[in-house]
Amino acid sequence: MARGTGCRWAFWFNVLGIVDLAFAFALRLVSGFVLGEPAGSSDLLPQALIPTTAVPLAIALHVVSLRRLAAAPRDAGMVGAATA
């Protein structure tokens, strides 16, 4: 981060996180169509909380992080001046 590459890495981390969640959702959807029924027992309560709560929360956190990165000041001198 001292060389100014932290924001770039954080951006790509969040983008890849969203892509990973979308890919997992797509695989789950396709496996349901191909196999005739959803893979696993995600109808039961503990497993049902993952796709209905954890995945939307993870996507929301990635989006919030991307928005904060977009709103962050670009100049490293501005960040040091604001904290000094």
pTM score, two decimals? 0.66
> Which residues of 1-84 form beta strands (DSSP E)?
none
Q: How many CB atoms lie within 10 A of CB 53?
A: 10
pLDDT band at 4 (very low <50, low <70, confident <90, very high): low
Helices (H), the chain: 6-35, 45-49, 55-71, 76-83
pLDDT in tens, 44-62: 667 677 777 888 899 999 9
Whether 25 and 55 have beta carbons less than 8 Å apart is answered as yes
pLDDT band at 40 (very low <50, low <70, confident <90, very high): low
Q: What is the pLDDT of residue 39?
A: 54
Q: What is the pLDDT of residue 55?
A: 85
pLDDT at 43 over 90: no
Cα of first residue to Cα of last residue in the chain, in angstroms, is 18
